[in-house]
Structure 1
Amino acid sequence: MFDRFSAFRPQLLSVLRIMSGLLLLQHGTAKVLGFPVVEGVPPPGFSLAGLSGPLELIFGVLLVLGLFTRPVAFLAAGFCAVGYWVVHGTGNVFPILNGGETIALYCFVFLYLAAAGAGPWSVDAVMSRRA
């Protein structure tokens, strides 16, 4: 029954990349642009949140577009791993107890994208077809 979905693997890879990029992008827009307004998010500056915002914004846009997906996803996975241990992992190692489920999941999704690539709906795919 589930073999029917196999034909859609490439497209679903693109959907995973696009949605993960959009979700990361909203973290960046909240921190850098103040939209959407998120309670407790400090203004941009030389704080950890202030420095992470621009990275989330840049990584998010590049992932949504599927531009330089493998290196960007690899850097984003590392960024998320560091974020997990610096922000969430200091009090308790278990993500459900330290509020780090989301960033831990992002880390492994981005690691997968670094290995799997962008999928067919991406700037990377268009550039490789032209080459």
Structure 2
Amino acid sequence: MHRLDQARDHVIGLYRIVIGFLFACHGLKTLFGLFGAKSTAAVGAWPGWWAAVIQLVCGALVCVGLGSRIAAVLGSGSMAYAYFVVHLPAALFPIQNGGELAAMFCWSLLLVAFIGPGRFALGNLAVRQRTSEPARARATA
């Protein structure tokens, strides 16, 4: 066992929080013109407005760790769509077609979906409560 393995779940949790926060900020920027955005997406416009809604909702869920695997898969898929439909036609490589963020978010969120939320996830509280309820019931019986 490597000595860094002791911090694995904590680092995964922090990674999830940062990725989720950044993804949500990307959605906020597009939806509400925050963080120095030059424009916003028109309400209901395909695909920009819908992508921003996915970014905001999925990013927030991933950040807090509630339904994080499902939210990460949905967010990853939306970024794969963005890369292949919006960026790839312009050039092959992300550095040439402006798709670096789409590619990074796609793979980062896919990683969260596969490795799980790690520590500090609200979803872990619900699991802990469900597993401790039978123990409490046995103790009071």
- 1:65 aligned residue: 64
Whether the 8 Å CA contact 2:62–2:71 is kept in 1: the answer is: yes
Aligned partner letter, 2:35: P
Question: Contact (CA 8 Å) 2:33, 2:40: kept in 1 or not?
Answer: no
Cα distance in 2 for residues equivalent to 1:11 and 1:113? 13
Q: Residue type matched to 2:75 in 1?
A: A
**Residue number in structure 1 paired with 2:50:** 51
Mean CA deviation greater in 45-54 or 115-124: 45-54
Tell me how many residue pairs correspond in the alignment: 128
Q: Give the C-alpha shift of residue 37 in structure 1.
A: 2.6
- Give the TM-score of the pair, scaled to structure 1: 0.90
Could you tell me how far apart the structure 1 residues matched to 2:116 and 2:24 are?
19
CA contact (8 A) 1:66 1:121 kept: yes
Deviations 1:23-73 (A, max 9, x none): 11111111122212312x433321422221111110111011100011111
Q: Would you say the 8 A contact 2:73–2:110 is kept in 1?
A: yes
Query: Which 4+ runs in 1 deviate beyond 6 A?
Result: none
Matched-pair contact (CA < 8 Å) for 2:79–2:103: yes
- AA partner of residue 59 (structure 1): C
Read off the aligned partner of 1:27 and give its amino acid letter: H
What TM-score do you get using the length of structure 2 for normalisation?
0.84
Give structure 2 stretches of 5+ with no counterpart.
131-141
Per-residue Cα deviation, 1:62-105 (whole angstroms, up to 9, x for no partner):
01110001111111111110011111111112111111122111
Structure 1's unaligned 5+ residue stretches are none
Q: For the Cα contact (< 8 Å) 2:29–2:35, is it kept in 1?
A: yes
For residues 79-118 of structure 1, the aligned pairs below 5 Å read 79-118=78-117
Q: Which residue of 2 aligns with 1:23?
A: 22
Distance 2:11 2:113 in 1: 15
Q: Which has the larger radius of gyration?
A: 2
Q: Is the 8 A contact 2:29 2:40 kept in 1?
A: no
